[in-house]
Amino acid sequence: MACTFVTYRQRSAWRDVGQVLGLPPLLLGPSTPILAEASQTDEAETLLSLARDLCRQLEGFPRHLGLHNGGMIVTGSPIIERVPTEPAAMPERFVVQWDKEALETVELVKIDLLGLRMLSALAEAEAIITELTGQAPELDRLRFDDPAVYAMIASADTIGVFQVESRAQVQILPRLKPGCFNDLMVTISLIRPGPIQGNMVQPYMRRRLGLEPVTYLHPRLEVALAETLGVILFQEQVLKVAHDLAGFTPGQGEQLRRALGIKQADIKIQRFRETFLNGAQANGVSLAVAESVFEQLRAFGGYAFAKSHAAAFVVLVYQSAWLKRYYPVHFLCALLNNQPLGFWNPAVLVGDAHRRGIKVLPVDIDRSRNRCTVEQGAIRLGFNYIAGLGEGGITRLEEVRQARSFTGLADFCRRTQLPRRMVENLILVGAMDGWGIPRRKLLWELGQLRYQEEELDLVFPQENIPLPSLSREETMLAEVEILGLSTGEHVLAHYRDWLSQQGILSIQELANCLAGGRVRAAGLLVVHQSPPTAKGFHFLTLEDETGLLDVIVRPQIYVRHRRLLHTSHLLLVEGTVQRESGVINLLALRVAAFAGPHSSPTKSS
């Protein structure tokens, strides 16, 4: 594998320099009281000044060697005869002590091999469908022309679909309304650092919607940028723009593209800039236009997305969307078995399934397998979702039940010899509900057992004590703690009647609200984002039993509710409805924690 050089940044340089100079750990923070006090003495100030100067000198220098994400080096002769290597952290894996730029200099071949869990999910979905229906779906033969699939994507019904399920994608899908393969390539290429940093997203959106004309900074750019309405979206367009505008040869264009993608390559990029500006002016392009185009290339090029990559990704977008449209149960089962995967966690995937009428059944000691399975049109959670059970515990459980079903808790404990804590977890998530005994009573019975995991002779004193059943809230909380999700009702469903009485709308009801209207909604906080390009805005996604809602939090609102937004899982939000092309957002005005009927929807905590 190729290496990467992890370079010093301000924080890492300060930490290492401080340790070498013998600064106390508390002094390594830039704004501690001890630092302010110590800086008042001449000796401390001299030491700190030295530390700062050394940090400035170190910044940008290599700190240690890392492993490239997927860069595999291929040579004809043994690699140790060509380049220096060292053992990597993983057994039987070695890393070349040169990075990709150095390898390119000596013309060694580096192939990027990146793993995608979605490939495993698609393969497993195919296998499940084939096993249960006898018919293989043959995803590789899809023609990418099904209107129903595109309609589903355009409506942003894309939870679980590769690359188009994120909050940002859901915002643009109903506006772009992709209807063909090329549209999907544009869709997945827009929401990336290159177009965002190059300020290309909104111009493309406005042009696509007919809100502004398609224009070009110079007529020479039309050939390269016509397919993307005058904005740069693909890596290949960098080469074409450099050729058409500034007369770059293909080789020069490729060198420019590489330079734009190298960190701290300012000197090399400056050389290309002069060549670009001179070539553009020789072709009759004004200096102002040439400078503007080059700055766009510079902002975009460091995070360029190749059109060929986009095309390959769209194949997976379409295949996953096709499965969600025609085999939603089988597809979801495969997604749950290949976590972590995609933008949403399993709890949101299960919530989406419930809203689509798909049943997700709890773990069952007699019916569940190692992984999730499809059972009579529903999904049965697998033992892999029981926290702490592990492969050893699962294997033991599956082996002993092959002889016969479990007749009760004592029989289960004697035969599996699982640790008490694992048995408790199985009880709490409903894995033993098939016996018809309430979960609290089973826990009591487990406590009565003189339980030693590795001993077979157990004593079971009998005490007939009436115990209340676990409440819906207790059951849900136990499942979420152990499984990471609940197969029962959404937590907000328990409070829907009370919420309605308070005038607090469900997310589904917001679809009927007019833009500009002031409303209140409640939900489980499932996403909290603050991209560097958002200028202090924060974006939340709330979930209730009816759907998902995106909430926009302005900087001043975030400052007021910062702690709440980072500590509360259930929120009440009062805000203004925003509507555009079928996309509904809530612009937050007030935020409060929600703890049931006794919480205040307008009082921040």
Where are the chain's structural domains?
3-112, 120-308, 359-483, 492-593
Render pLDDT for 356-415 as a digit per residue (tens, 0 to 9): 999 999 999 999 999 999 999 999 999 999 988 888 889 989 999 988 889 899 889 888
89: number of Cβ within 10 Å: 7
| Residue 496 contacts residue 597 (beta carbons within 8 Å) | no
Beta-sheet pairing, 570-580 with 538-544: unpaired
Render pLDDT for 454-469 as a digit per residue (tens, 0 to 9): 454 555 556 677 777 7
* pTM check: above 0.85: no
Handedness of CA 431, 437, 441, 447 (dihedral sign): negative
Instruction: Work out the pLDDT band at 306, boundaries 50, 70, 90.
Output: confident
473 or 321, higher pLDDT: 321
Write the secondary structure of 59-91 as one string of H (helix), E (strand) and C (coil).
Answer: CCCEEEEEECCCEEEECCCCHHHCCCEEECCCC
- Helix, strand, coil percentages, rounded to 5, for the chain: 50, 15, 35
Q: Chain-centre distance of CA 73, in angstroms?
A: 29
Render pLDDT for 164-206 as a digit per residue (tens, 0 to 9): 999 889 989 999 999 999 999 999 988 887 777 767 888 898 9
pLDDT at residue 17 in the model:
87
**CATH for 492-593, among 2.40.50.140, 3.65.10.10, 3.90.220.20, 2.40.110.10?**
2.40.50.140
56 or 36, higher pLDDT: 56
Does pLDDT of 297 surpass 50? Answer: yes
| Residue 153 contacts residue 181 (beta carbons within 8 Å) | no
Instruction: Work out the pLDDT band at 262, boundaries 50, 70, 90.
Output: low
Instruction: Work out the pLDDT band at 289, boundaries 50, 70, 90.
Output: very high
Tell me how long the chain is: 605
Report the distance separating Cα 130 and Cα 210, nearest Å.
Answer: 45
Contacts of 20 (CB under 8 A, 6+ apart): none
Instruction: Compute CA distances 261 → 101, 258, 298, whole Å.
Output: 11, 5, 9
Return the closest-CA partner of residue 571 out of 537, 527, 534, 509.
Answer: 527
Q: Chain-centre distance of CA 513, in angstroms?
A: 30
Tell me the pLDDT of the chain averaged across its residues.
Answer: 86
| Residue 141 contacts residue 317 (beta carbons within 8 Å) | no
Which tokens go with 242? 């450099």
Secondary structure (3-state) at 228: helix
Element (H, E) at 108: none
359-483 CATH: 1.10.150
Secondary structure (3-state) at 533: helix
Residue whose token pair is 């001890």: 34
Report the distance separating Cα 190 and Cα 204, nearest Å.
Answer: 9
| 586: phi then psi, degrees, rounded to nearest 5 | -120, 120
Domains 359-483 and 492-593 share a fold: no
pLDDT at residue 40 in the model:
53
Beta-sheet pairing, 109-112 with 71-74: antiparallel
pLDDT at residue 267 in the model:
67
Helix 390-401 to helix 409-416 angle (10° resolution) is 120
pLDDT at residue 58 in the model:
87
Render pLDDT for 509-550 as a digit per residue (tens, 0 to 9): 998 899 899 999 999 999 999 887 778 899 999 999 999 999
